Structure 1
Amino acid sequence: MSADYDRLFHSPDAVRTADEDSERDIPPSVRDNAPPLGSPPASEATPPPIPVAPPRTQAAQQVPPPSWPAETPGQAGNQHHAVHHPAPQRVPNNGMMRAPQASPEGARHEQRAAPPPPARRPIPAPPPSHSYAESSDQRTAAQPAQPSAASMGNHRAIDALSHVGVRSAVKMPSQRGWRHWLYVTTRINLGLSPDEVYELDLFTRIRRNARDSYQIGVFGLKGGVGKTAVTVALGSALSNIRGDRILAIDADPDGGNLADRAGRQSAATIADLLSDQELSRYNDIRAYTSMNSSNLEVLSSEEYSAARREFNDDDWRAATEIVSRYYNLVLADCGAGLFQPGARGVLSTVSGLVIVASASIDGARQAAITMDWLRQNGYQDLLGRSCVVINHVTPGKPNIDVEDLVQQFERHVPAGRVIVLPWDKHIAAGTEIQLGLLGKAFRRRVVELAAALSDDFDRLERR
């Protein structure tokens, strides 16, 4: 009895034979549903299997069954082979799988349960790609981007050279002063003087590109402060330095003398220009204007005795709509008032402003009233692009502290926009104004005025 017992449970051949014989005698349906050897009773076994829907795709059949927790030591103690080998892993029986049979250590058909694989960190799925090249680009996106030859070729190499500073091998010789005479006599070139360097900087500012047709109005609430003289001198300086087309329009409804101070060459007026319906070229407009020695063109107003009505805002808008297609800068010589229709029309279109005041307490008061009126009537932005001119219309020392007056006006306009014009003999003569006959100090102040107004050519605040 003991020999048969040992042969039956300790001989590998006997175990295999007994297992195979027992399997042959058991029907397949009963054999597949039988619990594994050493399993607890049906009451302690796993819950009844959940019905599984028939697989729809092949991928669904390959899903591995979920793993069940290992048996507790109490459950393993009921088996007489628990001392020799670990408890078998319980596999849920769903009616489709064959339950494994328990066998002693060393059985041929027994396979050790592989240790569970280490837990892997979830990897976010990459965006859908259709090629290996796109996946490679996504894997290397986190690395610093290296400039490729294709990306570097998008910018021309010649464009970068415009930002490279180049020193001239030859100094520009001075054109005036002792440096000029030293160069003429000894050919020793010491370069430009500081005053010449400052003047070249002013010229560079004046030559800024003016977008569209930039319009500048010249105002003054009091007559006799030199508005027309400032308009002619300013326009002549701009035309002489810039070299483009600049037009000055007489917008004084009380019979201005702009054409006389600039040099009248044509008897045509702004009324003749507006009555012409066949203006299609620059030469058509040039027939109605006069030009001085600095290439400044002037469009005169009607004679006061022959005018049928005063110059109004409709005339200004119609004239600027025609001439703005052919002239880069348009200056307006306005009358002594802000409530006139012509002055309102000019204020509605200009982008820059010049407020002219005489070097007296009365003239300073009128200039202050003009600035207050602009601020209170919706022209605050235009006041920020304005310049104040303190003009000495009489020789001698004025009855006001000009330096103190400049400081007071600079509180209302940007710094550097209060210009003091000295008394000039050529201006006081009342004849045609020529830029070359103006005094050196007067001409320099006019150039500074032109440079201050030119600083606004590239600003966004335009009307």
Structure 2
Amino acid sequence: MPEPVENKTANALAEAEAAEEQAQLPLRRDRRRGDDSDAWTGTMPIISSNQAEQRPSAPSSSWAEAAAAADAPARLQPAKPSKDPVLKPPAPEAAPAVPAQPTRSTRSASKAAALADAPLPDFISSPGLFVREQKPRPVGGFRGALYNLTGGGLNLGPSARQREEDELARRISRQLQGSYNTAVLSLKGGIGKTSTTVGVGLTLAEFRGDPPCAIDANPDSGDLVERALGEGIYQQQSPRTITDLLRKIESVDSLTALARYMHHAGRLHLIAGEQDPEVSDSLTAEEYLRIRKLISAYYSVALIDCGTGVTHNAMSGILQSADNLIIAAGYAVSGAKRARSTLHWLASHGYEDLARNAVVVITDKDEVSTRVDKDAIEEHLSGICRQLIAVPHDRGVADGDLVTLDVLRPETRRAYREIAAAIVDGYV
């Protein structure tokens, strides 16, 4: 039976397609060699399970169709990225954040919290919050004259000298916690021991808020009260002495009762020494300590005029209770040597601290010749004590009579202020 025409036509088309496919095989092998593929060997490529799932396969009827299927992944590979960097466009700048505006209630709460945390000003003890600070008023000199001439309109402030004086006054007037006493002593008489006690006592009374006390513990009929009051006034008053106070000490229980046995030179309160030579040397260390205990209950500062020498009966009690010492000396060679001997004796008898912290006062009471090297004496003594202060020659001191601050030279008064400040420095 002859073959139908449709079948002949289909077979002819299939043979033509197979011939065309056979002609394309060399070109495909060349492309695969350029792509580093292994399909040019003529073997079937290995297809993973994922690729098999992603690419549906149709049944191939020939080797050519299998080769065409292997070429599909190569054709689908993306192009290799270029090695040239790609410039990214700059990111747009972010707009600044606008802070949220606090509401009225928020501002009120913040102010209330700040006021609660801030310390309250002390309007009672700090009146300066409402007053401008003013310069101190100058006293004396060109600055003081200019201030007075302009009615206070032009104030240059105090001079350097006035500032030093103000500092001395501040040191002297410092408030003390407790009672303190300073002993004034020397190994030689007539070199300004009693005059120093009176001058420093009057200076303390001038600057301190509480009155000081001065005690005459001189066993040789001391004249402390006479130098402070004057001999005539002392004789007119009831001349009660330290001996009278000791006899009635058990009945003295107030400042009023104590005042009956004291003398007063302004604000300086004094206890007179015994004038009877047979009795004056009888003051013992125990009796002095009883006096000292009584005085400490009413006075914050006391000066003790010890007389000449350091070996009399009351001296051990005086040194035992003293807070610091004033060693009286003079520019005469004998006076300087006695001052040095006093310090050495103290250091060698258990009072090394008192000797080291002592204030040596050189009073130019008797003018010496130019042969005496005053600078050498001062340099020598200043090296063995805490401070050395020189009192210049002054008739108000050298005459051996009444000592009052009003008649003393300004340099002498300043020296007494320096001594008073130095002993108060030793208390604090």
Asked if the contact 1:335/1:343 (under 8 Å) is kept, the reply is no
Q: How many residues were matched structurally?
A: 302
Cα deviation, residue 396, structure 1: 6.0
Aligned to 2:290: 318
Q: Deviations over 1:358-385 (max 9, x none)?
A: 1111111111111111111111111232
**What SS is found at the alignment partner of 1:389?**
strand
Letter in 1 for 2:246: L
Asked if the contact 2:282/2:313 (under 8 Å) is kept, the reply is no
Q: 1:452 aligns with which of 405, 422, 428?
A: 422
Asked if the contact 1:259/1:300 (under 8 Å) is kept, the reply is yes
Letter in 2 for 1:176: G
- Distance in 1, Cα, partners of 2:395 & 2:423: 25
Letter in 2 for 1:413: C
Aligned to 2:242: 270
**What SS is found at the alignment partner of 1:341?**
coil
State whether structure 2 residue 340 is matched by structure 1 residue 368. Answer: yes
Q: 1:178 aligns with which of 136, 142, 147?
A: 142
- Distance in 1, Cα, partners of 2:130 & 2:383: 40
Q: Deviations over 1:378-400 (max 9, x none)?
A: 11111232100111112465642
Cα deviation, residue 198, structure 1: 0.5
- Distance in 2, Cα, partners of 1:432 & 1:400: 29
Aligned to 2:201: 235
Describe the shift of the 1:400–1:165 C-alpha distance in structure 2 as closer, same or farther (beyond 3 A). farther
State whether structure 2 residue 228 is matched by structure 1 residue 279. Answer: no
Describe the shift of the 1:394–1:168 C-alpha distance in structure 2 as closer, same or farther (beyond 3 A). farther
Describe the shift of the 1:374–1:180 C-alpha distance in structure 2 as closer, same or farther (beyond 3 A). same
Q: 1:299 aligns with which of 271, 274, 279?
A: 271
- Distance in 2, Cα, partners of 1:371 & 1:394: 22
Aligned to 2:321: 349
Asked if the contact 1:246/1:296 (under 8 Å) is kept, the reply is yes
Larger radius of gyration: 2
- Distance in 2, Cα, partners of 1:177 & 1:388: 32
State whether structure 2 residue 213 is matched by structure 1 residue 247. Answer: yes
- Distance in 1, Cα, partners of 2:141 & 2:261: 43
Asked if the contact 1:259/1:290 (under 8 Å) is kept, the reply is yes
Letter in 1 for 2:343: M
State whether structure 2 residue 375 is matched by structure 1 residue 409. Answer: no
Letter in 1 for 2:192: G
State whether structure 2 residue 195 is matched by structure 1 residue 225. Answer: no
Unaligned runs of 5+ in 2: 1-112
- Distance in 2, Cα, partners of 1:401 & 1:194: 30
Letter in 1 for 2:378: V
Aligned to 1:329: 301
Q: 1:208 aligns with which of 167, 174, 186?
A: 174
Asked if the contact 2:331/2:368 (under 8 Å) is kept, the reply is no
Structure (1/2) with the larger helix percentage: 2
Describe the shift of the 1:156–1:274 C-alpha distance in structure 2 as closer, same or farther (beyond 3 A). farther
Describe the shift of the 1:172–1:308 C-alpha distance in structure 2 as closer, same or farther (beyond 3 A). closer
- Distance in 1, Cα, partners of 2:365 & 2:394: 8
Aligned to 1:196: 162
Cα deviation, residue 243, structure 1: 2.6
**What SS is found at the alignment partner of 1:307?**
helix
- Distance in 1, Cα, partners of 2:130 & 2:299: 35
Q: Deviations over 1:155-195 (max 9, x none)?
A: 99759x98x99996322221211211122223322111110
- Distance in 2, Cα, partners of 1:398 & 1:311: 42
Letter in 1 for 2:221: G
Whose RCO is larger (CA < 8 A, sep 6+)?
A: 2
Aligned to 1:136: none
Aligned to 1:19: none
Asked if the contact 1:357/1:390 (under 8 Å) is kept, the reply is yes
Asked if the contact 2:186/2:339 (under 8 Å) is kept, the reply is yes
Asked if the contact 1:266/1:290 (under 8 Å) is kept, the reply is no
- Distance in 1, Cα, partners of 2:279 & 2:418: 37
Aligned to 1:88: none
Cα deviation, residue 319, structure 1: 0.7
RMSD: 2.5
Unaligned runs of 5+ in 1: 1-148, 459-463
Describe the shift of the 1:186–1:412 C-alpha distance in structure 2 as closer, same or farther (beyond 3 A). same
Cα deviation, residue 308, structure 1: 6.9
Task: Using the aligned pairs only, state the percent identity.
Answer: 31
State whether structure 2 residue 232 is matched by structure 1 residue 259. Answer: no
Aligned to 1:340: 312
**What SS is found at the alignment partner of 1:197?**
helix
Letter in 1 for 2:181: Q
Cα deviation, residue 314, structure 1: 2.0
